[in-house]
Structure 1
């Protein structure tokens, strides 16, 4: 009997409704299940320093559930109801999990990137009308503490602050209570919440901020149904990993780190190892990664292309890695050469999934036991539908044929409940329930999805989204700038970095250095400050007079590749073009054919396809 195809397997799976197949309807149900099934097993092992001799702080599933209930009851004491918001401004800690999952049990959790500029954080907290804030401290001697004082002064809905550091200093705001987190929860009952207090599937569980590290925040509403569905699908995909521990250094304000790499692991009783509060930003995390893979006998871990590139650059050590078999890559496109090199060096399988905040983390994944060509991201997850379509006036004019590029639309139980601000929902939905991802892609006869570009012009820097309009607006505010375009330039470390092209009134009196300084002074978010600004005589235009960005992306790609080759004393001619099916392609002509292997190694992490089809004689 022949092996069924992915599409046949998915169709067979869907013969039973997801409501009947998956018994947990809320995130609280997942912790009830884990506490019942795996009470004595370690749920979290927390490393603060990730030095090799550090003893982790461990917490079992029974204790985790007990403390989660204590935290939920403290929130109830503060008056948190089903539609009230608890914002979490914390690095990766055990308390981050407690505060986040307990908030969903009685209200709505709002994890926030604590590294954002304070104005951006305040905008998010005011948008969601935060009632309770959980953070490290209000010590003004720390960067985060300074932000919290700004928050206190500028977020009128805030009533309570929970802090981890009880040496917290004072605040002049008499309308606020400040409570030590661990002392506060210790006075509360750890018993399971009464049924009447527990959430329901259609309740909103989380408000995730999205839309980039700059610009007005968009708040995505994820329901308990959305999250618990994805968790159980994802856990099912990973069932063949058994109960092996998982190293998680992804941020706990991002869906990948929260839903796939944490909650889906808790559901099946696997230990989540917190790799320092700073995650991958702590140098020990990467330096000692393989040591901890061996220590915890990790067979699978979640990661992003940037980190795959960094791990490849780590020196070889005599560490037995036979336990390690799989890596799941997400957050940004994975270059094919990077994937193949990682697989070869570590004798493992790397799959590149596809998802976003609005899909509760996952749109597509490579199914266990199957393979995909190149950097395809696999099939749409069960019970969901994904199509490539041609849109006219935000309506589907037609569904694209097999292997024909189009805009990727998705619908299913994983798709969120819309944005908090109704303005943001304009154009997000197509014909009712199709969500417009803003990505371009092709779908082959096996249902494999391959992303080829973005209809939205977001710049993805190390997995973080940057709205180019923020850069363009800042440059247009300069008196001598007539036009500006910001795009993502391929980068070996970050995937993309922001660069800008401008047309100016007078090239004699405006320099690129001056415009770069202007950006540094007028763009508050460091990640969005362009790495370079280039002055052009004019922009390439389409037939209807719009700026034709693919030519500028080609130009940026050529600049980036040429700079890298020059730095390594390699003589070459570089030509870049955009192919709607394959993405960004770079054609390299080398004066010395023997340099090909060296160039391939240098460009391994570039999110481009490299051809060495012609060589200079």
Structure 2
């Protein structure tokens, strides 16, 4: 049996921390930790892989013995092909058992570098160049995916590349392409063919966290960063050897690989891999509640878009096995939170983390008070604080209780910096804490409340988009003078990118022409703006910088006004203004003049219904 922890608040964390983390997490590497978890019961299921949501009752089941055999074979193959400490294996794969073999096999032999398959070829190429990719593992030709076409388009332009390994496809020795299945089968599965004494501080993985074309931002994570995070997840999450967790988030992102990967694998738990597409597979979502019942799932991790989808599904199965669901990556509106819990009975724990902190830094305690709208309390052996920094990012002082400042994290889970030195400027506070770029406050009980982002990332369905990926290509269009990309609130994705454009004098270009240009030139499909707004003037700060808060406020106003059109005959007029708020970061003030015979309570209920899926705080007042 795995040790279980009761965590109600900070006092329980302090009790846990009386034992030094080095005594709890004794393993030096992810390889050692995986071997330990698999040894608990080698014949227990490690992964049940669903080929689709409709085939949820016909899984491919991998025992821990077979799972570790696949990892060892892959590590042996990669080592034989020249991968050693410090050398990088990049993969472009959907959620497959082989993806886990490649990820953990690469960390055993060298360094793993997961890449989002939805990125455009030019962006993938730049990431590989920055990482120094020696072996690229990619999915072969399959209907419904263009991964192989993207791979073929770039492999001749990656100077460090020596081999391409094709999953679900044949070898082609003339092109240095190896078929994964036929090649890996040549290697033993019961032992490693090489000796590697991994130092805990050695780099295990490089995760892409954003960055503009040409300067990708790759987070350098050590083996021990990931080992201690697995322990943190197990302590705070409460999963044990007997637990079953659902994995629907992608295995190029550390939520998928850590929360529903290394953490559970470390204790011999069972992962149900929800098809190659995960939550993006409509058949998975359609059958989601039946999947929970079939596998007696205890836990799943998702982003707000998934919860919004669940709200629209009938509860047609027994969900009594579910202990809770974790919501991270982007804020969940309080109204949506309450509606999902009422509709499904699922207990939601909101949390917070980032790639640079191995994945998680705070969560609402499973056994204690859940403060809806907060991201909970810090995790064991981590510190979180808020700090006041000046406009150039320089530390001024620590923030007081309930004072908004930059959220900073510190602990053995925090990464070693970015690969590109330019990205490491001003990211560390004097005490060694990492400045996340998020803004928040910490209350008297230690609960953290996010109030906004100082960094300007747009978070679309949990996917980080750097505005510069949109702005740089648009600046290259003739007739464009100034561009600013911001996030516009969206009921399903949390935010979607939109671009405000100021034309050059006498330029004759339309919003449609700019959108067409964006579709052809923005290097990431998810980053293509959903809307182009031509404006007479982009707001500037007194020193001439683009003032993006004003544009974010305008985008929020537009989104809310559009939704509130559905009030129809209930209101004579609706006015929305958006501004900064000291407590909530951003606040929308909605003033309504009710139609004759309509009371304000009816209007409030309708507004709450219309805006339930949005996260920006709002007030409703009667307009005289």
Question: TM-score when scaled to structure 1?
Answer: 0.93
**Secondary structure of residue in 2 paired with 1:19:** helix
1:99 to 95, 99, 102: 102
1:370, 1:447 → 2: CA distance? 12
**Secondary structure of residue in 1 paired with 2:560:** helix
- The answer on whether the counterparts of 1:389 and 1:406 sit within 8 Å (CA) in structure 2 is yes
Q: For residue 599 of structure 1, what is the aligned residue in structure 2?
A: 607
Mean alpha-carbon deviation: is it higher for 292-301 or for 581-590?
Answer: 581-590
- The answer on whether the counterparts of 1:408 and 1:436 sit within 8 Å (CA) in structure 2 is yes
Mean alpha-carbon deviation: is it higher for 272-281 or for 480-489?
Answer: 480-489
Mean alpha-carbon deviation: is it higher for 134-143 or for 10-19?
Answer: 134-143
Change (3 A) 1:253 1:568: farther
- The answer on whether the counterparts of 1:355 and 1:361 sit within 8 Å (CA) in structure 2 is yes
1:20, 1:42 → 2: CA distance? 28
1:198, 1:473 → 2: CA distance? 44
2:181, 2:485 → 1: CA distance? 46
**Secondary structure of residue in 1 paired with 2:607:** helix
- The answer on whether the counterparts of 1:27 and 1:101 sit within 8 Å (CA) in structure 2 is yes
1:510, 1:185 → 2: CA distance? 55
Map residues 397-546 of structure 1 onto 2, 5 A cutoff: 397-431=396-430, 433-506=432-505, 509-546=508-545
Q: For residue 582 of structure 1, what is the aligned residue in structure 2?
A: 584
1:155 to 148, 158, 174: 158
Map residues 357-376 of structure 1 onto 2, 5 A cutoff: 357-376=355-374
Offset at residue 399 of structure 1 (A): 0.6
Q: 1:573 and 2:580 equivalent?
A: no
Mean alpha-carbon deviation: is it higher for 249-258 or for 582-591?
Answer: 582-591
2:327 to 326, 329, 335: 329
Q: For residue 58 of structure 1, what is the aligned residue in structure 2?
A: 61
Offset at residue 242 of structure 1 (A): 6.5
What CA deviation, in whole Å up to 9, does each residue of 1:413-457 have, x standing for no partner?
A: 111011112122122222262211011000111111111101101
5+ unaligned residues in a row in structure 1: which ranges? none
Q: 1:132 and 2:135 equivalent?
A: yes
**Secondary structure of residue in 1 paired with 2:54:** coil
Change (3 A) 1:193 1:241: closer
- The answer on whether the counterparts of 2:557 and 2:578 sit within 8 Å (CA) in structure 1 is yes
Change (3 A) 1:195 1:81: closer
1:611 to 602, 619, 622: 619
2:308, 2:329 → 1: CA distance? 14
Q: For residue 3 of structure 2, what is the aligned residue in structure 1?
A: none
Offset at residue 504 of structure 1 (A): 2.5
Offset at residue 345 of structure 1 (A): 1.5
- The answer on whether the counterparts of 1:213 and 1:466 sit within 8 Å (CA) in structure 2 is no
2:34 to 31, 34, 37: 31
Change (3 A) 1:317 1:360: closer
Mean alpha-carbon deviation: is it higher for 44-53 or for 439-448?
Answer: 44-53
What CA deviation, in whole Å up to 9, does each residue of 1:239-285 have, x standing for no partner?
A: 26672311111000001000111111111221111111011111111
Change (3 A) 1:515 1:95: same
What CA deviation, in whole Å up to 9, does each residue of 1:117-143 have, x standing for no partner?
A: 011111111111211222222689962
Offset at residue 52 of structure 1 (A): 4.6
Offset at residue 171 of structure 1 (A): 7.5
2:128, 2:7 → 1: CA distance? 49
Map residues 233-252 of structure 1 onto 2, 5 A cutoff: 233-239=232-238, 243-252=242-251
Q: For residue 207 of structure 2, what is the aligned residue in structure 1?
A: 208
Change (3 A) 1:39 1:502: same
Q: For residue 47 of structure 1, what is the aligned residue in structure 2?
A: 50
Mean alpha-carbon deviation: is it higher for 267-276 or for 398-407?
Answer: 267-276
- Residues paired across the two proteins, number: 609
Offset at residue 198 of structure 1 (A): 4.4
**Secondary structure of residue in 2 paired with 1:351:** strand
Q: 1:350 and 2:348 equivalent?
A: yes
Q: For residue 297 of structure 1, what is the aligned residue in structure 2?
A: 296
Offset at residue 360 of structure 1 (A): 0.5
Q: 1:256 and 2:255 equivalent?
A: yes
2:160, 2:264 → 1: CA distance? 34
2:180, 2:616 → 1: CA distance? 47
Mean alpha-carbon deviation: is it higher for 291-300 or for 183-192?
Answer: 183-192
Offset at residue 501 of structure 1 (A): 1.8
1:530, 1:152 → 2: CA distance? 29
2:522, 2:173 → 1: CA distance? 30
What CA deviation, in whole Å up to 9, does each residue of 1:54-98 have, x standing for no partner?
A: 410011111211221111111121121111111111100000001
Q: For residue 548 of structure 1, what is the aligned residue in structure 2?
A: 547
Q: For residue 120 of structure 2, what is the aligned residue in structure 1?
A: 117
5+ unaligned residues in a row in structure 2: which ranges? 1-5
Mean alpha-carbon deviation: is it higher for 418-427 or for 452-461?
Answer: 418-427
- The answer on whether the counterparts of 1:213 and 1:525 sit within 8 Å (CA) in structure 2 is no
**Secondary structure of residue in 2 paired with 1:446:** coil
Offset at residue 167 of structure 1 (A): 4.2
Offset at residue 464 of structure 1 (A): 1.1
1:5, 1:279 → 2: CA distance? 32
Offset at residue 53 of structure 1 (A): 5.8
**RMSD (Å) for aligned C-alpha atoms:** 2.3
1:171, 1:579 → 2: CA distance? 61
- The answer on whether the counterparts of 1:213 and 1:464 sit within 8 Å (CA) in structure 2 is no
2:374, 2:464 → 1: CA distance? 21
- The answer on whether the counterparts of 2:501 and 2:535 sit within 8 Å (CA) in structure 1 is yes
Change (3 A) 1:508 1:222: closer
Question: TM-score when scaled to structure 2?
Answer: 0.92
Q: For residue 385 of structure 1, what is the aligned residue in structure 2?
A: 383
2:564, 2:242 → 1: CA distance? 45
Offset at residue 380 of structure 1 (A): 1.8
- The answer on whether the counterparts of 1:52 and 1:288 sit within 8 Å (CA) in structure 2 is no
**Secondary structure of residue in 1 paired with 2:403:** coil
Offset at residue 616 of structure 1 (A): 3.8
- The answer on whether the counterparts of 1:213 and 1:465 sit within 8 Å (CA) in structure 2 is no
Offset at residue 402 of structure 1 (A): 0.4
- The answer on whether the counterparts of 1:212 and 1:465 sit within 8 Å (CA) in structure 2 is no
2:111, 2:363 → 1: CA distance? 28
Offset at residue 373 of structure 1 (A): 2.4
Q: For residue 316 of structure 2, what is the aligned residue in structure 1?
A: 318
